A and B are shown apart, each in its own frame.
Chain A
Amino acid sequence: MSTLANKIQEVFNEPGCAKNQAKSGKERKKGCTKQLQPGGAAGGCAFDGAKIALQPITDAAHLVHGPIACEGSSWDNRNSSSSGSKLYRTSFTTDLSENDIIFGGEKRLYRSIREIVEKYDPPAVFVYQTCVPAMTGDDINAVCKKAGEKFGKPCIPVQAPGFVGAKTLGNKLGGEALLDHVIGTEEPDRTTPYDINIIGEYNVAGELWQVKPLLDELGIRILACISGDSKYHEVARSHRARAAMMVCSRAMINVARKMEERYGIPYFEGSFYGIGDMSDSLRQIAKLLVERGAPDELIARTEAVIAREEARAWRRIAAYRERFSGKKVLLITGGVKSWSVVAALQEAGMELVGTSVKKSTKEDKERIKEIMGQDAHMIDDLPPREMYRILKEARADIMLSGGRTQFVALKAKMPWLDINQERHYAYAGYEGMVELVREIDKALSNPVWSQVRTPAPWDEVTWEQRADEANAAVAECEAKAPSPCPSPARGEGTSSQRAQPTPSPLAGEGRGEGEAARCVAGEVAELPILPLERAA
């Protein structure tokens, strides 16, 4: 475990991460190791994160070493698309039984690798460590080494058992496995001055394919996407790229930075979400390639494509202006993607509630990013009734958020659109923004809303009215005695709201039914304020 502990420490100390750089040594040490609190809603574990990061390598076998818990309920549920092999969607697990736990699971792991090689003959096998065998001490590094030699196939140990931390840490640990065992182990047949890597893009819902045609047109070749729609050999050969783009989430910043360090591949941090961001990313790619020796004319060609595509996208978005005028959108998500869509929504004539930041200086963007990021953590854990209140007070016409809050929104009879990981629509690039606006329009204009909001003819009091009354009781109690009305759902996230320039509908006190009752009864107890950090 000590090597894993070192690895984790190293990842936490990532110098490429500005957030980490700003921390003191001591803070840095504990910063990312902060664990989720017991009794909170759970986010994905490190293993989940590592799998998300590596599974999009489509022709490899992904073998999960652990009991059925880790793989049994989660396989084939990540929406990453492939243009070729489908092997990545086949689930492999050692499905450890009690005997394997008592006597050790290494033998079963070795035999499992052999069976996979014999039956499926993949170019490589990724072996994921999970909590139980990590506890019992199965040495997956040794097994992978031995199996690799014996079967003549790369077997890559991925050391990210769930209990070391959250999904984001797992992303990075997955990246470490690539750095240690894959990248640079093979040579490409040929290289061009137009070769790039895209790091931290997983081709969710095929989003890479909304971007790739633009790169194709410019003659820019994706040597490897790490790891959306990639093949094992592409990743192994990715160290010969001229430049790299690190997709904004920082999920794999360690990969980008270390590849720069080891192979001299410069990278920039960019995003494919939002029209301006897409254009910036294309510009940056062209600039870096030219700096690395590609012909100058690439820049002019890139600008021409950007001008053409931006105009085309804005034109198509503007077509919705009339339909969207006066409509308000409530944007709630932990994804850094969300703020990139702000400009597009505003261009389409929508008003954004929940933030007062207009478009779009760099600092403003940063701030939206901050606010959105933090609120998301809070919102995820809000008592559902509170969520209803927020929706109502925001007087929003539609809510965009991640899947977790979907049913609260829908049960509050609120149009809703998924903009997180598991979504089924692709929102990247120019095409993606137009698609997003189209989806919002579809959701808003659906005739079900007016129907489901009409109460049954015999209903005297609707639940909405009851919820309103309960919320009003809380407000009244608060007005009488502001300080002793404790707020159980508030976490550290609230500090970001205080920083907001104008009062936001999100700035309410989080309070569930129980608290309302307690408040009315005038009996007050100090509730613990819980940190709410978890995987985005």
Chain B
Amino acid sequence: MAKVVISKKACTVNPLKMSQPIGAALAFMGVKGCMPLLHGSQGCTSFGLVLFVRHFREAIPMQTTAMSEVATVLGGFENVEQAVITINNRAKPAMIGICSTGVTEVKGDDVDGFISLIRRNRPELDHLPLVYASTPDFKDAFQEGWAKAVTKMVETLVETPAKGARRDPERVNILPGSHLTPGDLEELRGIVEAFGLVPSFLPDLSGSLDGHIPDDFTPTTIGGITVQEIAGLGRASWTIAIGEQMREAAEALERKTGVPFRLFDRLTGLAPNDAFIAFLAKIGGKPVPNKYRRQRSQLLDAMLDGHFSFGGKKIAVGAEPDLLFAVSSWLSEMGCTIEAAVTTMQSPMLEKVPANEVLIGDLEDLESRAGECDLIVTHSHGRQMSERLGIPLFRYGLPIFDRLGSAHRVSVGYRGTRDLIFEIGNMFMAAAHEPKPDDWRLPRGDVHENEAVTAH
């Protein structure tokens, strides 16, 4: 049970956190033919765009309502309307996902009201779904923006099945948290399909931001779940939510369609994957395929081989709540101690993190607590601290802008966990200390007498 502490500093130094609107925008990018639209001044969109371009190394669809100083005072109806019309004309999107920002929230723009007005005035836009998530920058963080956007898509786009309509026993909905990569989703798809089930991911970044060469060039997203498929989520027999952040969306889906859900708070590590596979076997009504029995056995072997390197290591982790929980829990199951844990916002998962304390703070806080650690786990912005402290950095989370392939890293499933053991284990091995003649110097006089036994 970790104690949750909120940083008392006035000044955030080296932020760990990113803002809600771009989290929501990323969720919208998991819908095919979607154009995310930030309702705010242009800079917010530009920063978000550059961030994602550097992380995914892909063209990123994202537009702005371009609120000027004057517009922010007068209110943004005209900007939203004009943006929607322009995007519709130029990009022919299948959907526009709108996120508010700090400026428009402070002004109190009623975007839901704007949308009803647009609906009334512009019947020619009837075909075009508009989904709006309220995501002020000055509250919560990236993960929450993602979760809100997914909940809103469920509320706006999913159709309530007719009374007595039959569910399709093969269909499962999967609601992945923002901490899963496109590679993770692809891995999960394979696992779920192996049980004879047909998964629908909402959102599905594995179709849009998995770094493939598209079949055609479009200015919107180039893949992902379709709006029609979202509408039909109510026909599934189960919903699987991954990460506590997706609870609300899963509940909303259940409310709307009656599809029950099961939430997995993580899918990294042995026990959570055992539970996941067992659940799939149950709902799929199939025995566990040999492939996964074998992968499980490979994971066990990797744990045995790796535990020498992991045991007793001290780790500093900076990540959003669900990712922090997942990676910390797994590391501690490998014998590591979570010496420092810093996160971005409140969450029920924080007290479950296997650390004495979880701090809602920034990377300066993490740096000041990481001095004695063997490894830092956080996104690319940990690079400066890693250099200053001389402690290796495992780049994890978003953004990762100074390494290739961040979209393809897999850390879910037996195989993903196994590979994570290899990747981090190799970092420990590379940093292993060469023995020196002076390493075992005898302590001097008085210290020797009353030497305390310290646990490492």
On whether the two chains bind one another, the answer is: yes
Measuring CB to CB, which residues of chain A are less than 8 angstroms from any residue of chain B? 35-48, 63, 66-77, 86, 89-98, 100-101, 107-109, 111-116, 119, 131-132, 134-136, 161-166, 383-385, 387-388, 403-404, 406-408, 411, 422, 463, 466-467, 470, 488-489, 512-514, 527-528, 530, 534
Shortest C-beta distance, A517 to chain B (Å), equals: 8
- Find A35's partner among B66, B141, B213 (CB 8 Å cutoff): B66
User: Across the interface, which residues of A come within 8 angstroms of B91, CB to CB?
Assistant: 383, 512, 514
Q: Could you jot down 28 A-B contacts, CB within 8 Å? A: A35-B71, A36-B66, A38-B66, A38-B80, A39-B90, A40-B64, A45-B42, A68-B138, A69-B22, A73-B48, A73-B50, A74-B47, A75-B381, A76-B381, A91-B15, A93-B12, A98-B136, A113-B11, A119-B13, A131-B72, A131-B103, A136-B106, A161-B69, A406-B59, A470-B216, A489-B90, A527-B89, A528-B85
User: Quick check: A97 and B216 within 8 Å, CB to CB?
Assistant: no
User: Quick check: A73 and B53 within 8 Å, CB to CB?
Assistant: no
User: Across the interface, which residues of A come within 8 angstroms of B17, CB to CB?
Assistant: 68, 72, 95
Is B137 engaged at the interface, CB distance under 8 Å to the other chain? yes
User: Quick check: B106 and A45 within 8 Å, CB to CB?
Assistant: no
Shortest C-beta distance, B396 to chain A (Å), equals: 17
Please name the 6 residue pairs, one residue from A and one from B, whose CB atoms are nearest each other, closest first.
Answer: A45-B43, A39-B86, A112-B11, A514-B92, A111-B10, A384-B217
- Find B384's partner among A36, A38, A76, A514 (CB 8 Å cutoff): A76
User: Quick check: A132 and B103 within 8 Å, CB to CB?
Assistant: yes
Report how far A132 CA is from B72 CA in the complex, Å: 10
User: Quick check: B92 and A528 within 8 Å, CB to CB?
Assistant: no
Given contacts A38-B64, A73-B399, A89-B384, 6 further A-B contacts (CB under 8 A): A42-B42, A43-B46, A73-B51, A95-B362, A162-B42, A162-B43
Q: Contacts A36-B64, A112-B11; is A68 near B141 (CB within 8 Å)?
A: yes
Report how far A67 CA is from B100 CA in the complex, Å: 13
User: Quick check: B138 and A101 within 8 Å, CB to CB?
Assistant: yes
User: Quick check: B217 and A163 within 8 Å, CB to CB?
Assistant: no
User: Across the interface, which residues of B come within 8 angstroms of A467, CB to CB?
Assistant: 216-217
Q: Which B residues, 21 to 61, have Cβ-Cβ distances below 8 Å to chain A?
A: 21-22, 37, 40-51, 53-54, 57-59
User: Quick check: B69 and A407 within 8 Å, CB to CB?
Assistant: no
Q: Contacts A37-B82, A38-B82, A40-B66; is A163 near B106 (CB within 8 Å)?
A: no
User: Across the interface, which residues of A come within 8 angstroms of B51, CB to CB?
Assistant: 73-74, 77
Shortest C-beta distance, B47 to chain A (Å), equals: 4
Report how far A384 CA is from B61 CA in the complex, Å: 11
User: Across the interface, which residues of B come within 8 angstroms of A42, CB to CB?
Assistant: 42-46, 49, 62-64, 66
User: Quick check: B102 and A131 within 8 Å, CB to CB?
Assistant: yes
User: Across the interface, which residues of A come within 8 angstroms of B18, CB to CB?
Assistant: 68, 72-73
Residue on B nearest A114 in the bound complex, by CB? B10
User: Across the interface, which residues of B come within 8 angstroms of A75, CB to CB?
Assistant: 14-15, 381
Is B449 engaged at the interface, CB distance under 8 Å to the other chain? no
- Find B137's partner among A35, A36, A68, A383 (CB 8 Å cutoff): A68
User: Across the interface, which residues of A come within 8 angstroms of B47, CB to CB?
Assistant: 44, 48, 69-70, 73-74
User: Quick check: B103 and A528 within 8 Å, CB to CB?
Assistant: no
Report how far A73 CA is from B14 CA in the complex, Å: 11
User: Quick check: A48 and B83 within 8 Å, CB to CB?
Assistant: no
Report how far A163 CA is from B10 CA in the complex, Å: 25
User: Across the interface, which residues of B come within 8 angstroms of A97, CB to CB?
Assistant: 138-139
User: Across the interface, which residues of A come within 8 angstroms of B62, CB to CB?
Assistant: 41-42
Report how far A411 CA is from B43 CA in the complex, Å: 27
User: Across the interface, which residues of A come within 8 angstroms of B87, CB to CB?
Assistant: 39
Q: Contacts A70-B43, A163-B41, A407-B58; is A94 near B15 (CB within 8 Å)?
A: no
- Find B59's partner among A37, A69, A384 (CB 8 Å cutoff): A384
User: Quick check: B216 and A385 within 8 Å, CB to CB?
Assistant: yes
Report how far A38 CA is from B118 CA in the complex, Å: 15
User: Quick check: A68 and B15 within 8 Å, CB to CB?
Assistant: yes
Q: How many residues of B contact A (CB 8 A)?
A: 76
Report how far A68 CA is from B137 CA in the complex, Å: 6
Shortest C-beta distance, B50 to chain A (Å), equals: 7
Residue on A nearest B11 in the bound complex, by CB? A112
User: Across the interface, which residues of B come within 8 angstroms of A161, CB to CB?
Assistant: 69
Q: Contacts A92-B11, A135-B103, A513-B92; is A77 near B54 (CB within 8 Å)?
A: yes
Shortest C-beta distance, B293 to chain A (Å), equals: 33
User: Quick check: A48 and B43 within 8 Å, CB to CB?
Assistant: yes
User: Quick check: A37 and B86 within 8 Å, CB to CB?
Assistant: yes
Report how far A135 CA is from B68 CA in the complex, Å: 12
Shortest C-beta distance, A252 to chain B (Å), equals: 20
Report how far A384 CA is from B220 CA in the complex, Å: 10
Is B259 engaged at the interface, CB distance under 8 Å to the other chain? no
Shortest C-beta distance, A171 to chain B (Å), equals: 14
Report how far A268 CA is from B372 CA in the complex, Å: 54
Report how far A527 CA is from B401 CA in the complex, Å: 38
Is B282 engaged at the interface, CB distance under 8 Å to the other chain? no
User: Quick check: A90 and B14 within 8 Å, CB to CB?
Assistant: yes
Report how far A527 CA is from B17 CA in the complex, Å: 41
User: Quick check: B65 and A69 within 8 Å, CB to CB?
Assistant: no
User: Across the interface, which residues of B come within 8 angstroms of A383, CB to CB?
Assistant: 90-91, 217-219
Q: Contacts A36-B66, A95-B17, A135-B106; is A73 near B72 (CB within 8 Å)?
A: no
Is B215 engaged at the interface, CB distance under 8 Å to the other chain? yes
Residue on B nearest A413 in the bound complex, by CB? B213
Shortest C-beta distance, B395 to chain A (Å), equals: 14
User: Across the interface, which residues of B come within 8 angstroms of A40, CB to CB?
Assistant: 63-64, 66, 86
User: Across the interface, which residues of A come within 8 angstroms of B21, CB to CB?
Assistant: 69
Report how far A136 CA is from B107 CA in the complex, Å: 9
User: Across the interface, which residues of A come within 8 angstroms of B14, CB to CB?
Assistant: 75, 90-91
Residue on B nearest A75 in the bound complex, by CB? B15
- Find A407's partner among B10, B57, B215 (CB 8 Å cutoff): B57
User: Across the interface, which residues of B come within 8 angstroms of A112, CB to CB?
Assistant: 10-11
Is B84 engaged at the interface, CB distance under 8 Å to the other chain? yes
Report how far A40 CA is from B218 CA in the complex, Å: 15
User: Across the interface, which residues of B come within 8 angstroms of A514, CB to CB?
Assistant: 90-92
Report how far A205 CA is from B216 CA in the complex, Å: 35
Contact with A along B425-454 (1 / 0, CB 8 A): 000000000000000000000000000000
Residue on A nearest B212 in the bound complex, by CB? A411
User: Across the interface, which residues of B come within 8 angstroms of A164, CB to CB?
Assistant: 68-69
Residue on B nearest A45 in the bound complex, by CB? B43
Shortest C-beta distance, B170 to chain A (Å), equals: 29
Residue on B nearest A466 in the bound complex, by CB? B216
User: Quick check: A67 and B102 within 8 Å, CB to CB?
Assistant: yes
User: Quick check: B45 and A90 within 8 Å, CB to CB?
Assistant: no
User: Quick check: B59 and A66 within 8 Å, CB to CB?
Assistant: no
Is B67 engaged at the interface, CB distance under 8 Å to the other chain? yes
Is B79 engaged at the interface, CB distance under 8 Å to the other chain? yes
User: Across the interface, which residues of A come within 8 angstroms of B89, CB to CB?
Assistant: 488, 527-528
Report how far A407 CA is from B17 CA in the complex, Å: 27
User: Across the interface, which residues of A come within 8 angstroms of B78, CB to CB?
Assistant: 38
Report how far A463 CA is from B215 CA in the complex, Å: 5
Report how far A166 CA is from B64 CA in the complex, Å: 13
- Find B85's partner among A39, A91, A119, A407 (CB 8 Å cutoff): A39
User: Across the interface, which residues of A come within 8 angstroms of B79, CB to CB?
Assistant: 38
- Find B12's partner among A95, A165, A470 (CB 8 Å cutoff): A95
Residue on A nearest B381 in the bound complex, by CB? A76
Report how far A108 CA is from B138 CA in the complex, Å: 14
User: Quick check: B92 and A512 within 8 Å, CB to CB?
Assistant: yes
Report how far A317 CA is from B79 CA in the complex, Å: 51
User: Across the interface, which residues of B come within 8 angstroms of A408, CB to CB?
Assistant: 59, 217
User: Quick check: A45 and B46 within 8 Å, CB to CB?
Assistant: yes
Shortest C-beta distance, A181 to chain B (Å), equals: 21
Report how far A411 CA is from B64 CA in the complex, Å: 25
